[in-house]
Each structure stands twice: as structure tokens, then as C-alpha cells.
Amino acid sequence: MKNFYDFAISDWQQWVRDQQLPAYRAAQIYQWSTRGITTAEEMTNISKDLRGRLEKEFVFGGLELVNKLISQIDGTTKYIFRLHDGNIIESVLMKYKHGYSVCLSSQAGCKMGCTFCASTGAGFGRDLTAGEMLAQVSVIGRDCGQRIGHVVIMGIGEPLDNYDNLVKFLRMINDPAGLNVSLRHISVSTCGLVPDMLKFTDEGLPVTLSVSLHAPDQQIREKLMPIARVYPYEELLAACRNHIEKTGRRISFEYTMFRGVNDQPEHARKLARQLSRMLCHVNLIAANELESGGYKSSDKKTMQKFMQILMQSGINATIRRELGSDIMAACGQLRRSLEECGKQ
């Protein structure tokens, strides 16, 4: 079955022509994809007959809410959805001063094998379609009753490993007649798939590219992220420089801090040398110890010192505020616990 949320306005225009319906029906149907509906029944301005036709041909998002966890600390909400084929994904709703943001999954599982990540342990299910990504934003927006103005694609999966669907999703979510989220309010993360980064740069989409670096050199990166053996540190930084040069946009580097692994002052000095004169920002993140891999998080003092060294070397850096720490907001954890229980 096709997914209702995979259809852009042009697809609906074609569909209504094929169904020999009046042209205005296309926009009428399409607007429902911004409202987080999960059945055709909810389309109150559509005739019963047409709703029946839609119901026969489409799944409506295909996201069944399995669990919803709300942080008692800051209201961060984690949604666990089961896709129509049984795969489990997670999305997180966060509230910031500037509004509501959704962190969404781009794949069910992940092939990248980062040694600190719970998504790896759960294995790889499949790529999500553009519509399944869009539905996460739309359904969550409806659930919380708020406009979602920011999106980060940093949940389960490597977005650039699902390239075509990612680009389709970005164009769809930016559609003024759709959810109309500004591309400038969207961050796309990558663990460093260099050829796809180069291609993505050339798409000219003004999103923020967020590179999961996590190490000051090749040796440490290889231990944490097997992908570094395929695309070495230097090649990755060259792709980042290319992105900055061609787009004029600042790159965001994610740096999760693991005690005794990548958090020492010499690591900070090395990182500062690697990133010197780059238009970038480094986000220092405390590791989530509930994840697998047995890594411990650096303490606050170590993180502060690390940040100071970067700043003194002229590198913009901040320590990311931890959100939803009581609901295991880090990627993959809940999905794995559900899958280990045999897809409850």
C-alpha cells in the first residue's frame, strides 16, 4: 500500500486526474497531511465515497503509537512508533525558547555500527520513506497541539544513507502549502559518509549540516566509529571545508565526551588544531551511560575545561543542555528494549 504522507501536491494532482475528480480536490486532500491524521475518516471535508477510495489505496502515516514518555524534568517527550510492517522507531519532541522541535528517525535501525550507540545493537530494519519522516513531524505536532518550527534528523539511522528519501522529505516539509518548515530551521546529521556529503552540498539546501565527529584524530575516531576506516578523518574534514566554502554555512560538529577516551586536554588541543580557521561550532555532549558499549561519560569539570581550551583556541563551542535524561532520550535505547522483549 502507498503511504498518504509520501504524496506531494504534484502527486495528488496526478491522482485526482487519474480518478477523474475535480482539480481542487488535490489541495483539499493534501492539506490533511499537515494535520497528523491517521485515518481517512478524519478528513471531514471529503465525501464518504472518496474517503473510502483513499482508505483502500493508502496507509495514513503507518505510525502506531506504542509508547510515549514525558520527562518530569523538562517536558521532553519521547514517542515510540511501530511502522505498518512492525519496525519500531523513535522520535523526540523538545521545547526550546524559540519553539518546538522534533528529532526524527530516518531509518529503522542503523548500519553504521558506532560502538557507543544503542541503534547499532538493534540491527538494521529498513530505510524510512519521505512520508514516514514527514508523518513523525505531523503526528507529533497534532499530538502536542503546537506548530513544529524546527526539525533535527538525528534520531535512529544515518540520514545520508537514505539519501533520496531524505532530500524528498526536505523538499516536502519545506513546501509552503504543506508543513512549511524553513530549511534554515532543519539540521541533518551525518556520521561522515563523504561521497554523500559532497553530493548533499551540491543540492544547495540551506539546512545545517551536523557532523558527528566525536574524536580529535583518526585513531580515536576509528575506535568509536567504524565508518572512519572507510572515510578517514582528513577526507571528512576536507568534505566539511568544501561544504563551508560552497554554501557559506557554518558546520556543526557533535562531540560526545567519553571518560578517558576523547576528553583529555591534549585531545581538546588536537581538535582545536584540526578545526582551526573553520567556520564551525562544536557541541560537546555528555555521553549517555545507559547506552551499550560500556563507555562512561566525562564529568562536568572535564567538559568545561575541554570547552575552555577550544574557546581559547578560537573555536566556538558549547556544552549541550541535556534534555529528557530521565526518559532515555538518546537514540535507539527504547527501541532496543522493545525489540528485545519481542516487539511487545
Binding site for ligand SF4 (CB under 6 A): 110, 112-114, 117, 119-120, 156-158, 191, 331
Report the distance separating Cα 193 and Cα 130, nearest Å.
Answer: 20
**DSSP run (H or E) holding 3:** strand 2-3
Cβ-based nearer residue to ligand SF4, 36 or 157? 157
Q: Among residues 34 and 288, whose Cβ is nearest to ligand SF4?
A: 288
Of 253, 259, 260, the closest CA to residue 284 belongs to 253
Query: Measured from the CB atom, is 184 or 229 closer to ligand SF4?
Result: 229
State the minimum distance, in angstroms, from the CB of residue 131 to ligand SF4.
21
- In the complex, the smallest distance separating the C-beta of residue 192 from ligand SF4, rounded to whole angstroms, is 9
Minimal distance in Å, beta carbon 114 to ligand SF4? Answer: 3
Catalytic residue from among 41, 90, 158, 191: 90
DSSP code per residue over 91-111: EEEEEETTEEEEE--SEEE-S
Going by C-beta distance under 8 Å and a sequence separation of 6 or more, which residues neighbour residue 73? 324, 325, 326
Taking the least distance from each CB to ligand SF4, the nearer of 80 and 191 is 191
Element at 78 (helix H, strand E): strand 77-82
Nearer Cβ to ligand SF4, position 87 or 119?
119
Beta carbons of 165 and 127 less than 8 angstroms apart: yes
- Is 331 one of the annotated active-site residues of the chain? yes
Q: Which CB atom, from 77 or from 120, has the smaller least distance to ligand SF4?
A: 120
Whether the Cβ atoms of residue 171 and residue 41 lie closer than 8 Å to each other: no
Q: How far apart are CB 89 and ligand SF4 at their closest, in Å?
A: 11
End-to-end CA gap in the chain: 24
State in angstroms the smallest separation of the CB of 106 from ligand SF4: 9
Q: What is the side-by-side strand order in the sheet with 88-96?
A: 64-70, 77-82, 88-96, 99-103, 148-153, 186-190, 208-212, 251-257, 280-286, 316-319
Which phi and psi (to 5°) does residue 320 adopt? -70, 135
CB of 76 to ligand SF4, least distance (A): 19
Residue from 110, 114, 240, 331 carrying the catalytic annotation: 331
Q: 203, exposed or middle or buried, with CB in 10 Å at 0-12, 13-18, 19+?
A: middle
Q: What distance lies between CA 283 and its chain's CA centroid?
A: 16
234 is catalytic: no
- Active site positions, annotated: 90, 331
